[in-house]
Chains A and B, each alone.
Chain A
Amino acid sequence: MSLLWRNVFGQKTGDDSLAGFLGSIPLFAEMKPRDLRQLAALVHPRDYDDKETVFSEGDPGSGLYLIRNGRVKIFTRDSSGHEHEIAVLEAGDFFGETTLVSPAVRTASARTLEKSQLVGFFRADLLDCMEKNPRLALRLLFGLTRAMSERLHLADRELKRLHHALHELQAEGQD
């Protein structure tokens, strides 16, 4: 009887369900369980093979990908076709978020390093959500803005550090 109850009415909890996975991502930390369930209906889980291209540099970009499991390599190509690795991302990471709000081409390529499951969330879904469920869209955008500003802070700090290093080098050169 309890098995039947769980099958019919029970909701999967924890990392098993898509909603649980989404809740573990810092991007969606603000969300309540109900929001997460609605979000789980919006996103697109896709299974990728080993060494499958997710997107290439120059593709039209329209959203972000979350890694549910597996690993993804982010890289660029120089003019001779050599690959330069930028990062290897693992389960729980996300990439491509810069194109979610404003349409732009992808500035790097992404390819899986093993069999992976990625969860796509695209601009069309966000726009739909803004019309249907503005509260959820607000929380989504808030999380996204926070993640972006954290990255901006990091980039800013890195830039300052480089700037100082450059100054010191120039000062040494003058001496």
Chain B
Amino acid sequence: MAESNGLTRGHVLLFFLVMTASIASGLAIFSSASRITELLHTATTGIVLPVLLALVLSFLLEPLVRLFERGPLTRTASIFLVFALVASGLYLAFSWLSPHWAEMWFSLRTDLPRYLGRGIALLKEAQARVQEIFPYIGGFDLPSRGRVLAERLFSHILAQTTGSALKIGGLMVLVPLFTFFFLRDGQKIVRASVGLVPNRYYEMAHDLAWLISRQLSQFVRGRITEAAIVGLVVGVGLSVTDIRYAPLLALFAGITNLVPYIGPIVGMIPGILIAMVDLGIGAQFWWIVVVYLLIAQVIVDNFILIPILISHVSNLHPLWVIIAIIMGGKLYGVLGMIIGVPVASILKIVIIEIRYYRQTFALPLGEFDS
């Protein structure tokens, strides 16, 4: 402090007053900011899932809408046409399948404890065998832990059925509504938000927005198609055996296939467990293992689908996959685990596109501008 000799009591007092005021206002801003983010979180909890589903659906339906739009129809009319087609398709599928599904669902509710009990018994056997070889790891009670976990899961599923019916009802209203508006006004929304960029960077922002949205729609369409085909292959492979619940298992395998590395493993656990309990370890059991591992995962997914559908741009390092699953699970539960990895891939695509753009053209630094 060069002018410290000139400091009077008044200066010191003023300095302290200013410091106190700034600390107090900093604290106030901090607490109100955390309050605002809290409010934001509460406000958005119900909206995240429908918005995400609607976005995915609008990415999926966009090519169909474009196809009709090329003809004499306007965009709104072609969206209505696509909606009508999808709705009638869903209605037909539902009316054809629903008796089977209801029956399957009720028998599964009685069968589930049996499968879980058998799985825990198998676990106990395996642990006893391991303890024979390595006697010093006796302290850990794996089977009872597994039982507690399984029972909790089971009661959770039972409790959720009524709640989830309500939730699904809400989704059935919100998702089509959001999808309609995303399809009709999506480009306008993107255009308007890109339009806020200052003139100097507008061209670049416009270009980048286009590149990113093209990559994104490719990625979403690719992932969904991949999951659907893997589910189909598992369904067909399982239905030639005597295993029960083949359609449910195929659906589960398809959905879990959205998560790379870990998803396929989780997806095959119930199928293999049911096969072990109901069919015993025999020819059919090994066929089911081959269907899950070799046919669905290695041949169809890795050799055929991934090279065709998924650009390697969106590949994530396994470490990021695990982090994304854990963070997604913390935020939005099981659903968060499924969508965490795709969301991480989307972030990666955005970053890679921007970096690629910067490498192709040295971006202007703007220091010459007057």
Binding site for B on A (CB under 8 A): 44, 46, 48, 51-56, 58-63, 77, 81, 103, 105, 120, 122-124, 127-128, 131-134
Contacts and interface: CB of A to CB of B under 8 A. Distances in A.
Given A60-B207, A124-B207, A44 B202 contact: yes
* 3 pairs of A and B residues whose beta carbons are closest in the complex: A60-B361, A124-B210, A62-B207
B207 A120 contact: no
Given A60-B361, A60-B363, A133-B70, A54 B206 contact: no
B199 A52 contact: yes
Contacts of B110: none
Nearest to A131: B66
A54 B207 contact: no
B369 A62 contact: no
A48 to B, nearest CB: 6
Contacts of B361: 59-60, 103, 105
A132 B62 CA distance: 11
B13 to A, nearest CB: 47
B43 interface: no
A46 B198 CA distance: 10
Contacts of A132: 66, 69-70
Given A59-B203, A123-B207, 14 more contacts: A56-B366, A58-B362, A60-B360, A60-B361, A62-B203, A103-B360, A103-B361, A120-B203, A120-B206, A122-B203, A124-B211, A132-B66, A132-B69, A134-B70
Interface residues of B, number: 24
Nearest to A127: B210
Interface in B233-290: none
Interface string B341-370: 000000000000000010011111010111
A133 B200 CA distance: 29
Contacts of B211: 124
Interface majority SS (helix, strand, loop, mixed), chain A: mixed
Contact of B364 (A46, A59, A124): A59
Contacts, number: 62
Nearest to B364: A59
Contacts of A127: 210
A133 B73 CA distance: 12
Nearest to A55: B203
Given A51-B370, A103-B360, A132-B69, A122 B206 contact: yes
Contacts of B203: 55, 59-63, 120, 122
Given A60-B204, A120-B203, A44 B368 contact: no
A46 B362 contact: no
B318 interface: no
B190 to A, nearest CB: 11
Interface in B185-204: 195, 199-200, 202-204
A17 to B, nearest CB: 19
Contact of B199 (A46, A61, A77, A105): A46
Contacts of B368: 56, 77, 81
Contact of B206 (A105, A124, A131, A133): A124
A60 B195 contact: no
Contacts of B200: 52-53
A124 B213 CA distance: 11
Contacts of B199: 46, 48, 52, 54
